[in-house]
Structure 1
Amino acid sequence: MPTYYTSGEFAKKAHVSIRTIRYYDQKNLLKPTAHTKGGARRYTDRDFAKLQQILLLKYLGFSLSDIREMTIGSGDQQLLLDSLQIQKRLAEERLEEMKNVITAIDSTRDALKDEGKVDWQKMLDLIHLTSMNQSLSTQYQNATNISARIRLHRDYSTNKEGWFHWLYKHLDLKPGMKILELGAGNGTLWSQNIDRVPNGVTIVLSDISEGILADAKNDIGDHPQFQYAVFDAQKIPFAEDTFDLVIANHMLFYCDDIPQTLSEVRRVLKPGASFACSTYSKKHMREITDLVQNFNSNIVLSSVNLYDRFGLENGKQILNSYFKDITCHKYEDAIELSESTPLISYILSCHGNQNALLLDHYPDFKHYVDQKVKDGFYITKGVGYFIGKKV
């Protein structure tokens, strides 16, 4: 027989007030296992385990409505993991914000000591620059942000073949090929197709982030045909005529100097070898931009329109100067979902200013997105790849 506790005994055991226990009952978060004939609540050790989960998630920053949505004790594990990642990201942003405050205090204090006055505009510009640099540095420490973006596409896309399976199929790899992927990220193109890689193929995965490549190596596992190299794609550390195929999957638009990167790709390709590079169109994920800007018009998910730098509309024209026989292949797909958590994870993983603007308004933003997606939310996808041969 289970041990039953009165409300007072239960509250004392958990180091909370009786009022808190009653409040969780009223909010349908924690119902007592039983009642006496007189209506008094009675709790068990199983209820205590559930209360511990509630208190922990509350400490981690979740609202009571979030906790209820997670269906404590028997919830969706992926939902809980995604929710925890959101709270971690918000905590990291808060930590960076506090670092910026310390930097601002130190800079202002030094200016007063050295010059006897403060150039307030200069200080504000310095704080803004420091904040942007810190945001960019945390963006690529590991594959967390990339994974959030991949999960949205993987779990809610209407095309069930999946982008990485589709792209891999079109690459048409042959035994003995030597391949370089630039900006390989967490290596999902290969981890999702590891059983399809032909024998005798050598694959070099590169990225500018050592942390992200470490995640790629961990996900792919121990396969001797894979090599890993940390370098900037604008200066590829390989000799001329080395590779049978170079891949740039959604990365060219991030390069500071796209012509220099394309020149380097052409240099390391063997004569007649191919370059495959994927990108987006102007309509890609436009509904997400509209969603966040309708909440706060100052939110920008990316400091530049990546498709203007290299997109499906202008990509062939840019590539024409470096490669021949260029063809474009489009991937038909869209996203449909009715859950807010994966969408919010995606938004917080973007490269813009959204986290700073949402940090103090997250509960309102969460409620706003909940309402927008509850009856279904459609997201347009415009994505594809170009392939061309070395001139």
Structure 2
Amino acid sequence: MSQYYTSGEFAKKAHVSIRTIRYYDQKNLLKPATHTKGGARLYTDQDFAKLQQILLLKYLGFSLSDIREMTIGSGDKQLLRNSLQIQKRLAEERLEEMKNVVNAIDSTSQALDRNDQVDWSKMLNLIHLTSMNQSLSMQYKNATNISARIRLHRDYSVNKEGWFLWLFSNLHLKSGMKVLELGAGNGALWSQNIDKVPAGVNIILSDISEGMLADAKNEIGAKPEFQYAVIDAQKIPFADNTFDLVIANHMLFYCDDISKALQEIRRVLKPGASLVCSTYSKRHMREITDLVQNFNSNIVLASTNLYERFGLDNGKQILSKFFNDVTCKKYHDAIEISEATPIISYILSCHGNQNEILLNHYQEFKQYVEEKVSGGFSITKDAGFFAARK
């Protein structure tokens, strides 16, 4: 038989007040398993497991309405998983922010020890600047952030073929080809097309991040066609005329020296072989930027406009200095969505200052996004790839 606890015993077991237990009952978060004949609440160990989940989610910063949707019995594990990832991201950002505060305090203390004049505004700027830089570096620890972006495109795009299926179909792979992908990320281009990879192809997936490559290996599995290597695109460790195809999917604009990367790519390509490199324009995902800036005009989702470094509007001009027969092919698509969580995940995955600003305003921001997308929300997509021949 189940062991029953009175409200007092149950509250003591969970280290909360009886008032909290009663409040959760009133809010339909945690109903008692049964009542005594006199109407007193009685709880079981199963109820205790649910209470532990509620307390954890509350500690992580979820509102009671959020918790009601996500607690045991909701049946929506994906909602819980996505929401937890958002809170994890916010917690990571808070940790980084606190590290920046510690560094600023140390710098200020050292200035005082030297009897130097303390520039307080400089110390505050140091915190903000290092927050931006560390936010960018966090993108490359593993594939968590890139996966958030992929999920938004995968699950809510109008074009059902999907970006990775479309791009793969334009690679025209053949047996015997030697292929290098630079900035392979979590390997989605290959994991989503694994059954279409022809036998006898030798594919080297590279990234500057070991964490990214680890995620790619997990996604693709043990396949003899694939090798993995940590590589900087500006210093490719392969001999001249090695590859039949080099792929740079949305990565060239991250290179510090794009010209140097293109020189290296040209060097390792065989004569007549091709580079396929994708990018987007300033029109791409513009509604996301407008959404966050209408909430707070100080939010910047990217410290650099990547499309200005290498985009659809200037890519052909840049590539033509190093390659022949440069052509562009557009991917026709848009995003239609009426859910807030995937958009918020996408926003928090960006490498701007949004997390620093939203840390203490998350519930307000969540409600704002929910209201904006409830009747349907359209997002422009303007992406494609260039094919360039050596």
1:92 correspondence with 2:92: yes
SS in 2 for 1:318: helix
Asked if the contact 1:54/1:72 (under 8 Å) is kept, the reply is: no
- Are the structure 2 counterparts of residues 3 and 119 from structure 1 closer, same or farther at C-alpha, using a change threshold of 3 Å? closer
Separation in 1 of the partners of 2:350 and 2:14?
39
1:213 correspondence with 2:210: no
Give the equivalent residue in structure 2 for 1:50. Answer: 50
| Corresponding residue pairs, total | 390
- Are the structure 2 counterparts of residues 297 and 122 from structure 1 closer, same or farther at C-alpha, using a change threshold of 3 Å? closer
Task: Please state how far the C-alpha of 1:270 moved relative to its aligned partner.
Answer: 0.7
Task: Please state how far the C-alpha of 1:68 moved relative to its aligned partner.
Answer: 1.6
Give the equivalent residue in structure 2 for 1:9. Answer: 9
Give CA-to-partner distance per residue, 1:76-100, whole Å, 9 cap, x none: 2222111111111111111111111
Aligned amino acid, residue 117 of structure 2: K
Alignment gaps of 5+ in structure 2 = none
SS in 2 for 1:333: strand
- Are the structure 2 counterparts of residues 264 and 47 from structure 1 closer, same or farther at C-alpha, using a change threshold of 3 Å? same
Give identity over the alignment, percent.
79
Asked if the contact 1:173/1:198 (under 8 Å) is kept, the reply is: yes
Give CA-to-partner distance per residue, 1:186-221, whole Å, 9 cap, x none: 111111111211111111111111221121122211
Task: Please state how far the C-alpha of 1:46 moved relative to its aligned partner.
Answer: 3.1
Separation in 2 of the partners of 1:11 and 1:129?
45
Give the equivalent residue in structure 1 for 2:111. Answer: 111
1:251 correspondence with 2:260: no
Deviates more, 1:121-130 or 1:362-371: 121-130
Aligned amino acid, residue 106 of structure 1: D
Asked if the contact 2:152/2:346 (under 8 Å) is kept, the reply is: yes
Task: Please state how far the C-alpha of 1:348 moved relative to its aligned partner.
Answer: 0.7
Give the equivalent residue in structure 2 for 1:268. Answer: 268
SS in 1 for 2:361: helix
Give CA-to-partner distance per residue, 1:20-75, whole Å, 9 cap, x none: 11211222212234445665434343333222221121122222122122243333
Task: Please state how far the C-alpha of 1:7 moved relative to its aligned partner.
Answer: 2.8
SS in 2 for 1:360: coil
Asked if the contact 2:139/2:146 (under 8 Å) is kept, the reply is: no
SS in 1 for 2:302: coil
Give the equivalent residue in structure 1 for 2:24. Answer: 24
Deviates more, 1:253-262 or 1:35-44: 35-44
Aligned amino acid, residue 383 of structure 1: A
Asked if the contact 1:280/1:384 (under 8 Å) is kept, the reply is: yes
Give the equivalent residue in structure 2 for 1:378. Answer: 378
Deviates more, 1:124-133 or 1:296-305: 124-133
Separation in 2 of the partners of 1:232 and 1:364?
41
Aligned amino acid, residue 64 of structure 1: L
Task: Please state how far the C-alpha of 1:234 moved relative to its aligned partner.
Answer: 1.4
Separation in 2 of the partners of 1:255 and 1:208?
11
1:328 correspondence with 2:331: no
Aligned amino acid, residue 238 of structure 1: F
- Are the structure 2 counterparts of residues 123 and 74 from structure 1 closer, same or farther at C-alpha, using a change threshold of 3 Å? closer
RMSD, aligned α-carbons: 1.8
SS in 2 for 1:298: coil
1:346 correspondence with 2:346: yes
Deviates more, 1:54-63 or 1:86-95: 54-63
1:289 correspondence with 2:261: no
Calculate the TM-score normalised by the size of structure 2.
0.94
Give the equivalent residue in structure 2 for 1:142. Answer: 142
Asked if the contact 1:183/1:206 (under 8 Å) is kept, the reply is: yes
SS in 1 for 2:388: strand
Separation in 2 of the partners of 1:37 and 1:287?
58
Task: Please state how far the C-alpha of 1:121 moved relative to its aligned partner.
Answer: 4.3
Alignment gaps of 5+ in structure 1 = none
Aligned amino acid, residue 271 of structure 1: P
Task: Please state how far the C-alpha of 1:317 moved relative to its aligned partner.
Answer: 2.1
